[in-house]
Amino acid sequence: MATQPHVLVVDDDPDMLSVAQRALEQAGYRVTPAPSGKDGVDVLKHERPDVILFDFWMPEMRGDEFVAEVWKVCPKPPPLVACSADPDFMDWDARSSGVRHAISKPFDVASLVGTVKKALSGA
């Protein structure tokens, strides 16, 4: 039996964290939730998820700062998926930092699962 793909979900909004976790688990993914960028980085010191889904606008660590920390802990990080309610959040140089996919909040479950699946496939 194949192992479940592992997704690290990093979001400071407990409702969004819960929705994403529930949706991805129902789609067959193993999910590790982290309520802050610091907590997400701490997870990466012990686990290697297949995808990282993170909120770009977190109070203690913005998305670009989170990605920089990810690179310090994981020289070859898994696919990164950024999400935000701000349509201009991808103005920073996301591609050069390793972010390959983005999803806008609020998202529907199908879009979330589809984006994570796309990230896993390398597309």
The C-alpha atoms of residue 90 and residue 84 are separated, in whole angstroms, by: 9
Note down the domain range covering 52.
6-121
- Is position 1 within any domain? no
CA–CA distances in Å: residue 90 to residues 24, 33, 39, 53, 55: 23, 23, 23, 14, 12
pLDDT of residue 1: 42
Residue 89: CATH number of its domain: 3.40.50.2300
- Is position 99 within any domain? yes
pLDDT of residue 7: 98
pLDDT of residue 104: 83
Query: What is the CA 20 to chain-centroid distance, rounded?
Result: 10
Spans of the chain, pLDDT less than 70: 1-2, 87-97, 123
Query: What is the CA 24 to chain-centroid distance, rounded?
Result: 12
The C-alpha atoms of residue 66 and residue 90 are separated, in whole angstroms, by: 14
pLDDT of residue 51: 96
Which residues neighbour 92 within 8 Å (Cβ) at sequence distance 6 or greater? 63, 64
pLDDT of residue 119: 92
Domain total for the chain? 1
- Is position 69 within any domain? yes
